[in-house]
Amino acid sequence: MSASDVHLRPNSPPVMRVGENLVVSSIPSLTSEKIDEITQSIMAPAVLKNFYTKKEADFSISLPGISRFRVNCYYQSGGVSFVFRQVPMSVPTSEDVQLLPKMLDVLNYDSGLVLVSGATGSGKSTTIAAMLDWLNKNDSRRIITLEDPIEFLYRDKKCDFVQREFGNDFFSFPEALAAAMREDPDVILVGEMREIQTIELALTAAETGHLVFSTVHSASSASAVGRVLSVFPGDLRQFVQEQLATVLVCIIAQVLVPTKADKRKQVAAREVLFNTPAIANLIRTGKHEQVHNFLKTGRESGMNILNDSLEKLIKSGLVDVEDAVAKSYDPNELLERSISINN
Q: What DSSP letter does each residue of 39-68 carry, written as one string?
A: HHHHS-HHHHHHHHHHSEEEEEEEETTTEE
Side by side, the strands of the sheet bearing 187-190 are: 160-165, 142-147, 187-190, 211-216, 112-117, 248-258, 266-274
Bond from prior residue into 149 cis (ω within 30 degrees of 0): yes
d(CA 248, CA 142): 21
Looking at residue 342, its pLDDT comes to 66
Looking at residue 78, its pLDDT comes to 80
**How many other CB atoms are found less than 10 A from the CB of residue 44?**
13
Q: One digit per residue, pLDDT tens: the chain, 343 residues?
A: 888 999 999 999 999 999 888 999 999 999 999 999 999 999 988 889 989 999 999 999 988 888 889 999 999 988 999 999 998 888 999 999 999 889 999 999 999 999 999 998 899 999 999 999 999 999 999 999 999 889 899 999 999 999 999 888 998 999 999 999 999 999 999 998 888 999 999 999 999 999 999 999 998 998 999 999 999 998 899 999 999 999 999 999 999 999 999 988 899 999 999 999 999 999 999 998 888 888 877 777 789 899 999 999 999 999 999 999 999 999 999 999 887 776 6
Q: To the nearest 10°, the Cα dihedral for 208, 241, 104, 193?
A: 80
Q: Which of 176, 178, 174, 182 is nearest to 164 (CA)?
A: 176
d(CA 12, CA 28): 8
Instruction: Mark 189-217 as b/e (b = at least 16 C-beta within 10 Å).
Output: bbbebbeeebbbbbbbbbbeebbbbbbbe
Looking at residue 120, its pLDDT comes to 86
Q: Which of 255, 172, 185, 243 is nearest to 213 (CA)?
A: 185
Per the CB < 8 A criterion, the answer to whether 106 and 213 are in contact is no
Domains and CATH numbers, the chain: 5-87 (3.30.450.90), 101-304 (3.40.50.300)
